Amino acid sequence: MGNMNKLAAVAQIKWLCMSQNTAVVIGPFMVIGMVWGFKILYSSFGPDGKLLPVMMAMLLNLGVTMNICTNGFLMVGTAIAEEKEKHTLRVLMTSSITGMQYFIGSILYPFVFTVVINFAILWVSGIDMSQVSVPVFFLVSVIASLISCVIGMIVGICASTQMNANLIGYPLMIVFMMVPILGNMSEGLRRISGFLFTGVVTQMTDCFANGMEYKIEALDIAVLFGELIISMLVFLVMYRKNGYEKD
């Protein structure tokens, strides 16, 4: 591709902007710190200083979904909103960057980080790795992170300021994060949760934590890929209508 330089430049711009944003940088460390803290705290309840499976399930669930949701919905969304607020998005778009290059450049680092940090969470949680199917975890992580990043792009299109992006991003995050977590308490929520990509993630980590074999079912695959396609389509429709920024 002759235009890799442009893609690389956008990704680098995004990287420089995000790495200067304290809230964004601290976020992943907080998630990892939280998982680590809980592990230390609750280990004392389990046999020989090990976490009870139910605790491990909660910990993984919370850590992984939080990581996926914050990085995508919030990090990607606010980064675009920031560019609108500071009037640099238009500058990029009038410097020969295409919509596609901006899209990929914007989600590249957040996506890679989300996947990497998911593995970090797994490691920090101290789960017995023999209970984990790494390829499946990797695959599900990758798709879930991608969906979350695309939703972040939609948040970015809708928002005009960073404040705005948070206002749109947080409710989404609460739905996608809390429904699977609360799914343990209510049958209704559990059913809805099955249709959310974060719900699929939760099911997977539950199985790992409980030492059960996780078999990814057709419905789960349909949910993951279906939501990826839906979010892409929503993004495309919105992009076609007004571009990244309404005039």
Partner 1 sequence: MEQNVLLQLSHISKRYKTELALKDINMELHPGEILGFLGPSGAGKTTTIKIITGQLRQTSGEAKILGTDSANIDASIYERIGVVSDNSGIYEKMTVWQNLNMFAKIWRVPRTRVEEVLRQVDLSEHSKKQAGKLSKGQKQRLVLARAVLHKPRILFLDEPTSGLDPTTAVEIHKMLLDLKEEGMAIFLTTHNMEEATKLCDNVALLYQGEIVEFGSPQELCLKYNQDKRYQILLDDRKEIILEQTPENIRKIAEWMEKDQVQCIHSCEPTLESVFLQVTGKTLNAW
| Interface ranges with partner 1 (CB under 8 A) | 5-6, 8-9, 12-13, 16-17, 20-21, 86-88, 90-91, 93-98, 247
Considering beta carbons, is residue 15 or 195 the nearer one to partner 1? 15
CB of 164 to partner 1, least distance (A): 17
Token output for 137:
């975890």
CB of 80 to partner 1, least distance (A): 13
Q: Please give the Cα distance from 221 to 20 (Å, whole number).
A: 37
Q: Please give the Cα distance from 247 to 245 (Å, whole number).
A: 6
Considering beta carbons, is residue 96 or 130 the nearer one to partner 1? 96
CB of 94 to partner 1, least distance (A): 4
Alpha carbon distances (Å) from 111 to 6, 40, 75, 133: 19, 29, 10, 21
CB of 178 to partner 1, least distance (A): 33
Q: Please give the Cα distance from 14 to 3 (Å, whole number).
A: 17
Give the residue from 169, 177, 174 showing the smallest Cα distance to 144. Answer: 177
Angle of CA points 25, 6, 150, to nearest 5°: 50
Considering beta carbons, is residue 44 or 96 the nearer one to partner 1? 96
CB of 39 to partner 1, least distance (A): 35
Considering beta carbons, is residue 86 or 191 the nearer one to partner 1? 86
Considering beta carbons, is residue 40 or 91 the nearer one to partner 1? 91
